Structure 1
Amino acid sequence: MELAAALTVFLTIFLVVLTAKKKMSSNGRMPPGPTPLPLIGNFLQIKASQTLKSLIKLREKYGPVFTVYLGTRPVVILCGHDAVKEALIDKAEEFSGRKTMPTIERTFQEHGVVFANGERWKQLRRFSLTVLRNFGMGKKSIEQRIQEEVQFLLEELRKTNGENAAR
């Protein structure tokens, strides 16, 4: 009886480990990285109090772009200016996608700049930037107007000579 229980526990653990390992290894074309443990991923290799040092140590072994697993979720790490520049500028199209979350998709139905994805996100972003530019974002003219208004405000405050306005 004890042998059957031990065998059942062993088989269950073996199947969980095998399933987790298969799931982690079937993530397509991911950059190289340390081998994750089933269910906990690479948490033991990344010290919480020294996250940056741990990631830099992994960078020395795997290069500026590598994959770590936080639990069962793969995370691609970009270390260094050149790697980030290449990802965000040179290969912007490949890195523009976001992971979808069914709850958020159902709630927001891909409306809004934050929760949209793909072509809809590009259109919303382009529209938002155009509208903000029309309102003066990134132009010196709005900065000059703000400084002018501040000067008028300062003059009015000086005219009060520190008197209490709520008499």
Structure 2
Amino acid sequence: MTYKTPDGPADCKPKADVCVVGAPWHAADIDGLCGGPAPLQSIHVIAQPATGGDPGATYCLAWTGSSDGAGKDATLLMNAAGYQCGAYLVGTDGQVINADGTSVFSDTPQYCEGDYPGTRMTYPGVLDFPNEGGAQPPTYVCVAENAGA
């Protein structure tokens, strides 16, 4: 089967490559091909800015490369330069700041189609804050992988 990136050339890729969370490959019925929407991904925030939740700020994740098998570790950055970001926190529409002025953070799981429907580039995530010792509840977001990082 042939797949393509949203704005790039067509190529042949194995189904496993197309269905992995964060993959840029496009398929018309990706949910049918992959057995449903992208699953919720756990992200352990090991460092975060002093202030958070400002709806007028952009947020992104700098991946640390570490994982405990149940989720990936990341540093949460606010208003950071794009080269520092492995992924952005976005609204369900894929925008880094919600059009209605609300925060991209939620207390309920999100459906995350984003700017690139038919791909796995945007997916639902849940942020946990292990350094807070459970004092901060999990926060649900939509994560958009940075294809240029």
Which range, TM-score by smaller chain?
under 0.3
Give me the TM-score of the superposition, normalised by structure 1. Answer: 0.20
Asked which structure has the greater RCO (Cα within 8 Å, sep 6+), the reply is: 2
Pair member with larger Rg = 1
Query: Of Structure 1 and Structure 2, which has the larger fraction of its residues in strand?
Result: 2
Give me the TM-score of the superposition, normalised by structure 2. Answer: 0.22
